[in-house]
Amino acid sequence: MSKTKLEYIWLDGYTPTSNLRSKTKVEEDFGGKLEDCPVWSFDGSSTKQAEGGSSDCLLKPVAIYPDPTRRDAFLVMTEVLNADGTPHVSNARATIDDDDNDFWFGFEQEYFIMDKRTELPLGFPLGGYPGPQGMYYCSVGGKNTHGRDFVEEHADLCIDAGLNFEGINQEVASGQWEFQLFAKGAKKAGDEIWIARYLLDRLTEKYGFYIEYHPKPIKGDWNGSGMHANFSNTTLRTCGSKEVYETICEAFRPVTKEHIAVYGQYNDQRLTGDHETASINDFSYGVSDRGASIRIPIITVEKGWKGWLEDRRPASNGDPYKIAARIVKTVKTAKV
C-alpha cells in the first residue's frame, strides 16, 4: 500500500496582500491526477478567513504539480470555499472570467533576495550601499552577481514541477532577480505564479534567506520590483490592426484607478514616473515605451499588429489572479 504526500496550498485572508499557506495531506494509493485530490478543510480563524465559532473553510483543488523536493509528493493549488461550497471572499481566482482559456498571460516576477542575518538584499553591506545601479542587470561575476546558486536551484525546481518556466535574469539592483512564466489561460497563469512563489519561498528556508516582494523595499535611486503582465486574446493575436490595438488600450484609460487598486500594495512608491515607470496617477501607452503604463511590444508591430500587450503597472507583490481578472474584464469591454 503506497502513501503519497499532497501539499495543499492556498491564499489566506490578509488584506490587501495575501500570504501563502500550506499543509500536507497523506493519501493512500493516490492516483496522481487532480480529480483524485479530495476537497479538504482548514481553520479559517487562524488565517483571517473565518470566525472562531464557525471556523471551517474548504480547500478545492484546482491544479496539481509534482513536488520536486519531496519523495512521493505533489503540490496542489487550491481555491478557498466557504463551508457551503461558495467561493470565499478572499478567492480571487473564482472571479476570473476566462473559462475558455482565450486569454494568455506571461508574468515577469521581480523580487529581492534578502539575507536574514542583515535584513538587507544580497550584496548590500551593513551600514552602507553597494555600487549604484548599472552593473547588476544581467551581470556575471562575483563582484556584481549575488544569489545565482539560489536562483538556478529555484529555476530547476520550477521546471521539474512542470511549470511553463521561461527564464531568469538578475535585475538592475544588487540582489534583485526576475523569473518569467507563461500560460494559456488566465487561471492557469495565476496558478503557476503562485506555485513558483511557493517554491521560491520554501527554498529560502534552506539558504537562510527570505524573499521581499515589496515593490520598493530599498528607497533611493533604485528601481522597484514589478510583475509586468503580458497578455493577449484571440483578437490581439490575430487582428492585424493598429486601430484595434489602440481601442483596446483606450479601454484601460477610464478604469485606471480600478486597475491600480488590485495591482499591489505600496505601488505608489514604485510608480513615480521614474525608473522605467509611468506615474500612478496617469495612463499612457506606446510602442516599445517602457515608461508607459502599457507597452506595445515592437515584435507585435513588426508582425503586422498581431501579438500581445504588456501592462507594466502591476507590482511584484500583486495577486496574479486579481490582476488577470481585472485585465480580462477591461479587454472584454473594448468595442472592437
CATH number, domain with residue 125: 3.30.590.10
- Residue 171 in domain: yes
- Residue 100 in domain: no
CATH number, residue 7: 3.10.20.70
E strand spans, 73-122: 73-81, 104-115, 120-121
Same domain for 114 and 220, yes or no, is: yes
What does residue 10 show for φ and ψ, rounded to 5 degrees?
Answer: -145, 170
Q: Would you give the DSSP letter of residue 272?
A: B
How far is residue 255's CA from residue 276's CA, in Å, rounded to a whole number?
Answer: 22
Which residue, of 60, 91, 122, is where some domain finishes? 91
Joined together, the cell numbers standing for residue 101 give: 482559456
* End-to-end alpha carbon distance in the chain: 57
Which residue, of 68, 91, 114, is where some domain finishes? 91
Q: What is the DSSP pairing of strand 3-11 with strand 20-28?
A: antiparallel
Range of the domain at 295: 231-336
Name residue 56's amino acid: D
- Residue 62 in domain: yes
Same domain for 109 and 202, yes or no, is: yes
Q: Would you give the DSSP letter of residue 267?
A: G
- Residue 97 in domain: no
Q: What is the DSSP pairing of strand 104-115 with strand 120-121?
A: antiparallel
Name residue 18's amino acid: S
Helix, strand, coil percentages (3-state) for the chain, rounded to 5, are 25, 30, 45
How far is residue 277's CA from residue 144's CA, in Å, rounded to a whole number?
Answer: 24
pLDDT per residue of the chain (336 residues) written in tens, 0 to 9: 799 999 999 999 999 999 999 999 999 999 999 999 999 999 999 999 999 888 999 999 999 999 999 999 999 999 999 999 999 999 999 999 999 999 999 999 999 999 999 999 999 998 888 988 889 999 999 999 999 999 999 999 999 999 999 999 999 999 999 999 999 999 999 999 999 999 999 999 999 999 999 999 988 888 899 999 999 999 999 999 999 999 999 999 999 999 999 999 999 999 998 878 899 999 999 999 989 999 999 999 999 999 999 999 999 999 999 999 999 999 999 998
- Residue 267 in domain: yes
Considering the entire predicted model, what is its pTM? Answer: 0.96
Joined together, the cell numbers standing for residue 51 give: 470566525
How far is residue 226's CA from residue 268's CA, in Å, rounded to a whole number?
Answer: 12
Same domain for 85 and 141, yes or no, is: no
156 closest CA partner among 168, 144, 146, 145: 168
Same domain for 198 and 250, yes or no, is: no
Same domain for 218 and 237, yes or no, is: no
Instruction: Give how far Cα 56 sits from Cα of 43, 48, 53, 138, 145, Å.
Output: 5, 12, 9, 47, 46
E strand spans, 171-208: 176-184
Which residue, of 197, 225, 253, is where some domain finishes? 225
- Residue 142 in domain: yes
Residues whose CB falls within 8 Å of the CB of residue 4, separated by 6 or more in sequence, listed in order? 26, 27, 28, 30, 32, 72, 73, 74
- Structurally, the chain folds into a number of domains equal to 3
